[in-house]
Structure formats: structure tokens, C-alpha cells
Amino acid sequence: MKVTVKVPATTANIGPGFDCFGIALSIYNKITLEELVYPDKGLQINIFSEENNSSVLTIPTDESNIVYKAVELLYNYVGQTPPALKINIEANIPVAKGIGSSASVIVGGILAANKLLGDPADEAALLSIANEMEGHPDNITPAMLGGFNLSSAEEDGSILYKTIAWPEKWKFILCIPDYELATQISRSVLPEQISIQDAVFNVKRSAMFIEALHLRDAELMKFALDDRLHQVYRSKLITGFDRVKQSMNELPGVLGTVISGAGPTLLVIYEKDGNFEEIKSALNLTWQETGIKALLKNVDIDTQGAVII
């Protein structure tokens, strides 16, 4: 039996929603699991990319591979050991860029394994298992379910989430610089404690963010995208962040610029009627001035999440 799962990239935090807000985006990894009838070679892992994703060269092809680890976790959940498998990974989401590459392959591996086993785990269990491996649900939830999600990992291991409709007129540009930033490094610069003033600041901005979605209020969203929990610290690791943010703030139709996940990718949110070519030109010029090469990708929100194809 062979199963293929297509899983979207994700952007998390989106300003004030640290470890809580997440959006599925229209870049995809595909994970294929195939049980080997004649397992003479044992585990087989093949990795390729239609996007000329050079980071695939760093992905291990043995039992330390993150997809295999996810598969193993699901099998262990039902009290079984994985059979001899052939795993194909079409890795089109850049690695260590802050757009959910690890969440994508974890979700893909777990969903494919669940299908091979006859769907013993329900949605709640799948989310919990995936979060156990990823460590936080802000990428896992939209990768599995699609759309914009609020999510929280509860003390009992369950994932509490709510999907909220994203305005069709609010679009995204990903600015993907040509260097990597490991999540561990990006988290290491965050303080262990914050002031009550900064906590209150983010509570207010998060509340305004959700209200801006409900009201489709662009001016309120511009105000809501600010943050004091993580971006002020992580921005020091991202060359050009302040300059890109400032250049975008000066353009009509742009709602704001935030760090995507742990970075270094930046997410620009703009209104559909905004001048995309003007925004793109300003972004290219700003990145050139910083001396950093960056790939610009105009992406849509993915509303389906992971699908078996």
C-alpha cells in the first residue's frame, strides 16, 4: 500500500500571537509512504524538490529523518512497530526559514502512517501526537487543518484550537533571505521573563488582531501587528528587518511586516487592491541595500490543510 500526503507551509506568530497564531500558505511538501513487500534494503528514504531547494541536501536519509520519527511515533501510539518502508519526500518548503518546514513533514508523516494503519487515530489524537514532536501547535494546527488558527497546547496534551476566516482581500508576500536561522537559535535569544507592561501590550494587540479579522478592519490590523514578546529580540538576528519594515510602512495598501515564525523569513501583509509591483520593487531595493539576497514569493492562504492525494 502507498499513501501520499500534501501539506502546506505555515507562518506562525504573525506579530503578537507568539506560539498561538498560525496561517497555512500555498507552498507544499509531499510525503509518500510505501510498505515494502520485499524489504531487502530496509528503510529507504528519497528526497527531492521541484523548487530547486538546496536545503534538501542537509536532510538525513536514515532513521534520524524527521518524517521517519513522526511515522514511528504514530505507530508507537497504536502499539506497533513501523514495517519496512520506502519514504519519498518532495521538499519544496525551504528548511530553517521560519515557514513551517518541520511541521509540514511531521504532519505529513503522521497522517500517511495513520492512513496506512487504517485511520486508528482521530483528529484530536493526530494533533496531540504531532505537537508532541514539534513542541508547539502554532505551525502544526494550520498545517493539518488549513486557514488561520488560534491554538493552545493544554496540560493534558490536547490541542485547543479555533479556525477564523481570513479576509480574502488581505494577501501575503514572503521575503525569504538566502541564509538559514535554526529555531533553537531564534528561541535562545528570547528572555526567560518579561515585564508586565510588555505582557499587557501583547494581550491588547492580540485582542485587536482578532477583532480586526472579524471587522475586516485594515487600520486596526496595522495597529495590531506590533509585538514586544519576540520580534524585538529576534530582529537582531535578521539583517534588514528594520529597514524592510520601515520601507513597507511607507507604502499605501501595506498592513504590516512581521517575522514569519522563528525567521529569518519576513511576511508582508497587504491589501489586494494595493500596488503589488510597487511593493515588490520597494522590497527588492531594500534587500539590495542591505546586501542580502532574498526570494520574494506572492503566496495565498491555504484553506484545506493537509490532504491525502
Residue 175 corresponds to which cell in the numbers above?
521575503
Tens of pLDDT, residue by residue over 32-88, are 999 987 766 778 999 988 766 666 667 888 899 999 999 999 999 999 999 889 999
Check: CB of residue 52 under 8 Å from CB of residue 181.
no
Angle ∠(268,273,274) on CA atoms, nearest 5 = 45
Residue-range domains of the chain with CATH = 2-165+302-308 (3.30.230.10), 170-299 (3.30.70.890)
14: left (phi over 0), alpha (psi -120 to 50) or beta: left
Sequence-ordered alpha helix ranges (H) in 9-164: 66-77, 101-116, 123-134, 137-145
Query: Distance (Å, rounded) from C-alpha 20 to C-alpha 139?
Result: 9
3-state secondary structure of 295: strand
Helices (H), 250-296: 276-290
Place of cell 509591483: 277
pLDDT at 292: 87
SS3 304: coil
Whether 223 and 209 have beta carbons less than 8 Å apart is answered as no
CB 142 within 8 A of CB 127: no
Q: What residues pair up with 90 in beta bridges, in sequence order?
A: 30, 48
Question: And the C-alpha cell for 153?
Answer: 497546547
CA distance 237 to 185: 9
pLDDT in tens, the chain (309 residues): 899 999 999 999 999 999 999 999 999 999 999 998 776 677 899 998 876 666 666 788 889 999 999 999 999 999 999 988 999 999 999 998 999 999 999 999 999 999 999 999 999 999 999 999 999 999 999 999 999 999 999 999 999 999 999 999 999 999 999 988 888 899 999 999 999 999 999 999 999 999 999 999 999 999 999 999 999 999 999 988 999 999 998 888 999 999 999 999 999 999 987 678 888 899 999 988 888 899 999 999 999 999 999
At residue 233, φ and ψ (nearest 5 deg) are -90, -45
The SS3 assignment for 85 reads: strand
Q: Shortest CA distance to 245 belongs to which of 171, 173, 169? A: 173
CB 61 within 8 A of CB 41: no
Q: Tell me how far apart the alpha carbons of residues 183 and 230 are, in angstroms, rounded to a whole number.
A: 12
Rg of the chain over Cα atoms, rounded to whole angstroms, equals: 19
d(CA 235, CA 15): 12
CB of 236 closer than 8 Å to CB of 248: no
pLDDT for 275 equals: 76
Axis crossing angle, helix 123-134 with helix 66-77, rounded to the nearest 10: 130
